[in-house]
Chain A
Amino acid sequence: MRFIIIILLFLLSTSIFAAESNSGPMPKHKWSFNGITGTFDRAALQRGFKVYQEVCSGCHSMKLLYYRDLRDIGFSEAEVKVIAAEYTVVDGPNDEGEMYDRDARPADRFVSPYANDNEARLSNNGAYPPDLSVITKARKYGEDYIYNFILGYEEPPEGMEIGDGMYYNKWVGGNQISMPQPIYDGSVDYDDGTDNNALQLTEDVVTFLKWAAEPELEVRKNLGIKVILFFLVLGTFIYFVKNKLWREVD
């Protein structure tokens, strides 16, 4: 069974790698989607979407998402249509060769706040607000970082010089960022009566962002359990067949 030991050694080494990149000072938050049977809380996703709409989407695009994707977080076909229609997209050219505005449809991508990257920079003091479609996959510590970061605005420590139009944040590299604190207690009113303190708002919006980055998460984990079970069962059968076979070898 030296084979097993080697495999375990390899697992150990990879987990050391993983632990090395996760153990930092970044506090971990308890997420509903963590663990092998983790799922997204649909209500939290819908609330998180509302926070995105009312707070983040002023500056941040989510270009990889379509309005139709919102069906996944529990909106009905009709609701998605209404949400999409709140936005305007440029379509065309029409028969006269002109571009024209129309209401967004479910098959359209999330409308970006700025026409292009340069306009986005210009409106934000030269800092480009990153696209949020896959943001939890694009930052070390993923959702935990985003969560701590949003809640990480503080008064700068004494003696620290903060640049013009910059804000102090405990978690961002260099501790300075040009995005002001986005979420306060009561920034967004929830329709379902959930307490809208900053902690709740942040948790909801980060849940939404995690879903946006990995919409396949639930299906993936579900299938994963089945695949691993399959290999275990097949492996057990093969183990017995193989043992029976090798017993004849002398």
Chain B
Amino acid sequence: MAENPNNKRRDFLQLSTISIGALGTAAFIWPFLSSMNPAEDTLALGTTEVDISSIEEGQSITVKWRGKPVFIRKRTKEEIEEAKEVNFTDLIDPEQDIDRVKKEEWLVLIGVCTHLGCVPLGQKLTDNKGEYNGWYCPCHGSHYDTSGRIRKGPAPNNLPVPPYSFLNDTTIKIG
């Protein structure tokens, strides 16, 4: 009967064998975890092209991008003025309006409240737009202004701006 090898010092050969085995096991697990990431067909739908030619001034549309609502609003002169006039350093999440748009009249936002993920009201003309004439989240009462910035309520951040670009004057590509 051989004695318990645990009592012996593990030699170099054993150590390398164990390391190679451990390395292989780790590598074996990777494809399984990786398979849970979004698949190619999901990624391929990661960009959305939107025709914005039919949006009137003061109107908004909601499009779906990566399963989330994206607000596209053609702002009126007053709304733009309102957004610019605010002293941005006083805001909860200080940001200038100019940094949140590519063209002044077009505001593009991910329409998910930064508090707990509800979709704020304000897209329809009849909606409650909140105290700052932008969006109002009915879940916990967050008020966003005409630049989508948080002004009052529990939400910590401004409504995020998704990556987008103007393909031409009437089409934008989100994502």
A–B direct contact (CB < 8 Å) = yes
Q: Which A residues are closer than 8 A to B by beta carbons? A: 66, 68, 106-107, 230, 233-234, 237-238, 240-241, 244-245, 248-249
Q: Could you tell me if B13 and A244 are in contact, using CB atoms closer than 8 angstroms?
A: yes
Interface size class of B (residues with CB under 8 A): 10 to 19
In the complex, per-residue mask of B131-172: 1 if CB is within 8 Å of any chain A CB, else 0: 000000000000000000000000000000000000000000
| In the complex, chain B residues 17-72 whose Cβ is within 8 Å of any chain A Cβ | 17, 20-21, 24, 27, 40-41, 44-45
User: Can you spell out 28 A-B residue pairs with CB atoms less than 8 angstroms apart?
Assistant: A66-B41, A68-B40, A68-B44, A106-B44, A107-B41, A107-B44, A107-B45, A230-B20, A230-B24, A230-B27, A233-B20, A234-B17, A234-B20, A234-B21, A234-B24, A237-B16, A237-B17, A237-B20, A238-B17, A238-B21, A240-B13, A241-B13, A241-B14, A244-B13, A245-B2, A245-B5, A248-B2, A249-B2
Task: Please give, as numbers and ranges, the residues of chain B lying within 8 Å of A241 by CB-CB distance.
Answer: 13-14, 17
Residue of A68, A238, A241 most packed against chain B (CB within 10 A): A241
Measured CB to CB, the nearest residue on chain A to B61 is A95
Contacts of A244 in B (CB 8 A): 13
> Please, how many angstroms separate the alpha-carbon atoms of A70 and B142 in the complex?
46
Contact surface of B with A, Cβ cutoff 8 Å: 2, 5, 13-14, 16-17, 20-21, 24, 27, 40-41, 44-45
Q: Inter-chain contact count A-B, CB under 8 Å?
A: 31
* A185→B17 CA distance, assembly (Å): 59
CA distance A215 to B56 in the complex (A): 46
The docked-state distance in angstroms from the alpha carbon of A106 to that of B15 is 51
Q: How far is the CA of A24 from the CA of B40 in the complex (A)?
A: 39
In the complex, what residues of A have CB within 8 A of residue B27's CB?
Answer: 230
Among B17, B24, B27, chain A packs the most CB atoms within 10 A around the CB of: B17
CB distance from B60 to the nearest CB of A (A): 14
**Interchain nearest-CB distance for B44 vs A (Å):** 4
In the complex, the chain B residue whose C-beta lies closest to that of A68 is B44
